[in-house]
Every structure is written in C-alpha cells, then in structure tokens.
Amino acid sequence: MTSQETGRAERPTRFILQWHITHRCNLSCVHCYQKDTAYSASPADFTEILDKYERFLKAGNYYGYVYLTGGEPLVHPAFFTLLEELRRRQLLFCVLSNGTLIDSRAANRIAWYGAEFVQVSLDGTREIHDRIRGKGAFDRALRGIDELTALEVPVLVSFTAQKGNTECFPELAKICSEHRVRKLWWDRVVTDTPEETEKLALSTAEFQAFVKQAQRLNRKYRRRDGSSLVSCERSLQFIGNRRADFCYTCHAGQDMITILADGSLMPCRRLPFTIGNIHDGELEALLSSDPLMEKLKHPPVPEGCLACAHADTCRGGAKCVTYGQTGSLFGKDVNCFL
C-alpha cells in the first residue's frame, strides 16, 4: 500500500554520505587504503557538495547523515568551519578519526557543534596499535577518547582485525570499558594484493575463532538495557550467535555513498570502484545513470549461498573483503564458515 493510499506520509529513510574531506593524515598506518595524499576539499567544495546532497535528500525523501573522515579529518584547516556549516544546515553528522589530534579544545568544539558520535580507530593495546599506526599513537588516541567522554560525546572505537592483533582484543575491550567507550566494533582488514592478503588477512579458521571470541565478549560486556560494549553487527558476525536477531547486509550501493576529497564518488570506500565525480552533476543523476550502482542495489545471491538460510539478507557477506582477495564482487564471502 502506498502513502497515497494510506493517507500517511512515508517516513524518510536514512542516506549516509561518507565524506573524505582530505586525503592527508598525520599518521601512516600499515593497512591504510589511502595511497594518495594530495587532495583536500576546498570551502567552495563544501558548499557545492552539501547543496547537492541536500537536494538529493529532498528529492528522495531521505534524511541525511554525514560521516566526516579522511585521511584524518582534523588535519583539514577548515574542519571546524565545516562543522559550523553542518550545524547551520541541521544535518546530522559524526566524525571518524584516528583520535590523536583531539585535545581539550578540539573536543569542546566537536561537542559544541553537536557531533552525534566520534569514532576513534584503535587496532590493539599500546604496543600493537603503535606498531601499526606509529609510536605514541595509542596514548594520544586514548587522550582524545577521554576528552570526548568527559564532555559526554559518545565514542565508538573501531578495530580492524588482522594478522597479529586479534589476541589483544579482550584487553582492548577492558580498556574501552574503563574509558567509557560506547561501542567497540570491529571488521576485517581489506586487502588488495595477494602480498597484502598473505601478510595481513585472517584465514577462515582464524576469523571463525575471532568471531567466537567477540561473541563471548559481547555477552560479557552486555548492559542492563540489552546493548553491549562489544558489537557483533558486521558481516558474518551473527553466525552461531543464538541471540542475534539481525543479519548484516552490505550497504554498498544501497543507502550510502562515499565522496573523496577530489570529488570522486564510490559505492563504498572499501570497494575500489569510482562511479563518477560529484563536480560533474547532480548526485541523483550520477547515481542513477551508473550500471554498477544499479547492480549493487539488487545484488544477486552468490551461487555458493543459495542453500543458506541467511541468503536473502546476508547475500554473500562483505563484498570488500571478498573482492580484495578473489576479484569476485558477487561471490560468497571468502571467510564464510557456514
């Protein structure tokens, strides 16, 4: 039944804009997918992109949610001007950061402009995180977390599971709990060459063991309201969890778009496909004319998943991980242990 038939207005759905406002970063992490560092969006780009995004939201009856990231978004000299603009336009936004540049002043400004949350990347306890992200990075990120939580800004920690960092996850969960992190979520590293896969990617057996461990921690850190510090909401993390009442679906091409600092549009930052440039037209026209976006909107169930009870929702798991390791975009998840 349509909204015209019921007489009720349809509730808008969310459409996320993940915006890499700069490719520059103050760190140089082992698994970083940002190979070029030359671009930063200009203040004129801010206006053009937000105008186009708002027109797109209005035409599609969506509500917006801007994920600001980089590189490291806080190295952009006009970062706080952009926050001011987002607040003026009443657009929901959050910040995805390595946390190292969030001192007391930055935290206060992020809180003032009303970020919904800040996501800080931590890839292990001090020694492991610093090995991946550089000496001193862990302590500086933790300081950023403390500055934000002191102001009641919700902090999410993101953990990239890869060879050599999975064993410290329980200790990291403990640290996150002590530092009042709202959610510790994790996903697998995405690789794009056989050498990288060999060096960084978990085997299926390692991934399965890690999922089990994360599910144990999810139970251990469960709160009275049913939420948990340790999240198991990403691809395949529901397998074997009897309490899971959801199943992750890859969002690429569905309800999100990524814009890089040079204007390139991608269905997801973790998939290496560019589908145009925001500076060449309106968002709606660019997205609807692209054959890959059309295919991602209605992805086929992979052959290896046809007999699976989760096929309709999971549809093959994480496209980015599988594509990076096998070159197949619509294949069964390379780490699926079902």
Q: How far is the CB of 319 from ligand SF4 (least distance, A)?
A: 4
Q: Which residues of 10-44 are buried (b: 16+ CB within 10 A; e: fewer)?
A: eeeeebbbbbbbbbbbebebbbeebeeeebbbeee
20 touching ligand SF4, by CB under 6 A: no
Interface of this chain with ligand SF4, residues 229 to 258, rule: CB under 6 A: 235-236, 250-252
201 touching ligand SF4, by CB under 6 A: no
DSSP 115-156: -S-EEEE--SSHHHHHHHH-TTHHHHHHHHHHHHHHTT--EE
118 touching ligand SF4, by CB under 6 A: no
Q: How far is the CB of 226 from ligand SF4 (least distance, A)?
A: 24
Q: Which of 310, 324, 329, 334 binds ligand SF4 (CB under 6 A)?
A: 310
Contact between residue 125 and residue 175 where contact means Cβ atoms under 8 Å apart: yes
Sign of CA dihedral 20, 25, 31, 36: positive
Which of 184/268 has CB closer to ligand SF4?
268
- Backbone torsion region of residue 253, taken as left when φ is above 0, otherwise alpha when ψ lies between -120 and 50, otherwise beta: left
Q: How far is the CB of 6 from ligand SF4 (least distance, A)?
A: 32
Contact between residue 47 and residue 95 where contact means Cβ atoms under 8 Å apart: no
SS3 73: helix
101 touching ligand SF4, by CB under 6 A: no
161 touching ligand SF4, by CB under 6 A: no
133 touching ligand SF4, by CB under 6 A: no
Which of 125/208 has CB closer to ligand SF4?
208
Contact between residue 263 and residue 21 where contact means Cβ atoms under 8 Å apart: no
Number of residues that bind ligand SF4 (CB under 6 A): 22
Which of 124/253 has CB closer to ligand SF4?
253
Which of 72/333 has CB closer to ligand SF4?
333
What is the phi/psi pair of residue 190, to 5°? -105, 125
Q: What does the alpha-carbon distance between residue 268 and residue 170 come to, in Å, rounded to a whole number? A: 29
Q: What does the alpha-carbon distance between residue 101 and residue 113 come to, in Å, rounded to a whole number? A: 17
Q: How far is the CB of 132 from ligand SF4 (least distance, A)?
A: 19
Q: How far is the CB of 332 from ligand SF4 (least distance, A)?
A: 5
Which of 102/314 has CB closer to ligand SF4?
314
Q: At what angle do helices 79-88 and 104-113 cross, to 10 degrees?
A: 20
Q: How far is the CB of 338 from ligand SF4 (least distance, A)?
A: 4
Rg (CA), the chain: 20
160 touching ligand SF4, by CB under 6 A: no
305 touching ligand SF4, by CB under 6 A: yes
Contact between residue 96 and residue 67 where contact means Cβ atoms under 8 Å apart: yes
- Tell me, residue by residue from 256 to 275, as one string, x for binding to ligand SF4 by CB under 6 A and - for no binding: ------------x-xx----
Q: Residues interacting with ligand SF4, by CB under 6 A?
A: 235-236, 250-252, 268, 270-271, 305, 308, 310-311, 314, 316-320, 332-333, 336, 338
